Amino acid sequence: MSETHAAHPAPDPAHPAGANSAPPAFEERGSGRSPETPGAADLRARAADLDTADDLAKLRTRFTLPEDLVYLDGNSLGALPTGVAERMAEVVTQEWGENLIRSWSDGTWWTAPERIGDRIAPLIGAAPGQTVVGDSTSVNLFKALVGAARLAGEGRTDLLVDAATFPTDGYIAASAARMTGLNVVPVDPDRAAEAFGPSTAVVLLNHVDYRTGRLHDLPGLTAAARAAGAITVWDLCHSAGALPVGLDEHAVDLAVGCTYKYLNGGPGSPAYLYIAARHQQDFDSPLPGWNGHADPFAMTPGFAPAEGALRGRVGTPDILSMLALEAALDVWEGVTVEAVRAKSLALTDFFLECVAAYVPQGVLEPVTPAAHAERGSQVSLRTENASAVMAELIARGVVGDFRAPDVLRFGFTPLYVGFADAERAARTLSHVLGHIYE
């Protein structure tokens, strides 16, 4: 869901060397700082104090990260948890290599989708038995949207979709609408509740906007949709594992999300589908695969859905990726989402403070809301030549990503990102932009 970049060892940003020292598009400018603005030494000292006081700082040892790299792209691909490689070697050599097909019946393979779903459930505020892991986010979204339209029943005509949604969500919504006879109606999430009415069948919204990092009002919008008699489907790709979601608390109907971002499941790791318990008996999946059958091995010509969220299963699960994800979730042992959220807000606040101190006003435009209630776990900054800026940041060992046409994205994963990382990223950004402060 994002561009990939090759990371390179980082030279000291205070002493850039060679042709890669700065893109030619940027010029040296005056500091534009007032005398009371903190300097680099002050902010480095603050960062060190904050890291020392951080109860989550020790969790960085649960991840394998290159030395001298600031990794701020966990909102695209999470870092590698240390236990995954060993677990994968065991799965490949023992469970597959020696046990072969017996691992389906004698081992842990068959129950993986629901078992791992129950491990994700606390991170999205769901009770057990409502979350099943498998397939991609796009496939799960298709299941959820068509299933939601069928739950909504007849007489409703509209599928409301976040107008700024990730493109694939829009493509899937259009296909689901064609299948169910609904009309796709784009809505601004900030004004979506005004569009809910008797014609609204389904509402598809992103919890966090992937470009801007804006956090939308899941409790309020879900309540408004419910009052209008509509079924909600939430995309949690940029919020699960970064902040509390509260699916059960806020009576969300259906939700989907990926596991390779803040859940650190690995590239292409399987996604998940949440089906609220109250809807499970009536949830009619448009992809009735044999794995979602009440009796998969009966091989009957007619489909009888399994009980509960298991009816969200389709085909044979991708066991290698599934079990890698399960091992990755071990990093959450003893960690609460609330503690992660508190650090996320502190990190993004500090990063924005450092950017403001190091880069004169007018060079960068923050597009992520300042208000905590409206901010996810990323900071997006708009600037000219953003693609070149990000390429140079990566060359200097600060890995974020770029969104066309002019947005720099920096994802803050509190499990392994610290305050010194935030300060260094802002300082390196100032060097790349030609504002060199010491």
Length of the chain as a residue count: 438
Q: Confidence class of residue 37 from pLDDT cuts 50, 70 and 90?
A: low
Catalytic residues: 166, 235, 260-261, 409
pLDDT at 222 over 90: yes
Neighbour-count burial for 247-278, b at 16+ CB within 10 Å, e otherwise: bbebebbbbbbbbbbbbbbbeebbbbbbbbee
Query: What is the arithmetic mean of pLDDT over 237-245?
Result: 98
| Phi, psi for residue 210 in degrees, rounded to 5 | -70, -25
Every domain of the chain and the residues it spans: 18-82+336-432, 108-332
Number of H helices and E strands in the chain, helices first, is 12, 15
pLDDT tens digits for range 295-312: 999 999 999 999 999 999
pLDDT tens digits for range 64-89: 999 999 999 999 999 999 999 999 99
On average, the pLDDT of the chain sits at 91
Confirm if 377 and 243 have CB atoms less than 8 A apart: yes
Which residues are bridge partners to 234 per DSSP? 205, 255
Q: Confidence class of residue 40 from pLDDT cuts 50, 70 and 90?
A: confident
pLDDT at 11 over 80: no
Which residues are bridge partners to 202 per DSSP? 159, 231
Query: What is the arithmetic mean of pLDDT over 360-370?
Result: 94
pLDDT (0 to 100) of residue 414: 98
Query: What is the arithmetic mean of pLDDT over 113-132?
Result: 98
> Domain 18-82+336-432's class?
alpha beta
My answer on whether omega of the bond before 405 falls inside 30° of 0, hence cis, is: yes
Q: Confidence class of residue 38 from pLDDT cuts 50, 70 and 90?
A: confident
Q: What CATH topology corresponds to 108-332?
A: Aspartate Aminotransferase; domain 2 (3.40.640)
Same fold? 18-82+336-432, 108-332: no
d(CA 409, CA 72) in angstroms, rounded, equals: 8
